[in-house]
Amino acid sequence: MKGKQVGYVRVSSAEQNMERQLDGIALDKVFADTCSGKDARRP
């Protein structure tokens, strides 16, 4: 049995492009985070 390929993308603002970070990589699931790292009280 082969494992699943999982990716994680993080950007600090909505203006940044997430698509280029994992471009050309075949993944089964991608998790994305668009919160700024400066605020420790983020969800």
The residues annotated as belonging to the active site are: 12
Yes or no: say if 22 and 7 are a contact pair by the CB < 8 Å rule: yes
Structure tokens belonging to residue 1 = 């049995």
SS3 19: helix
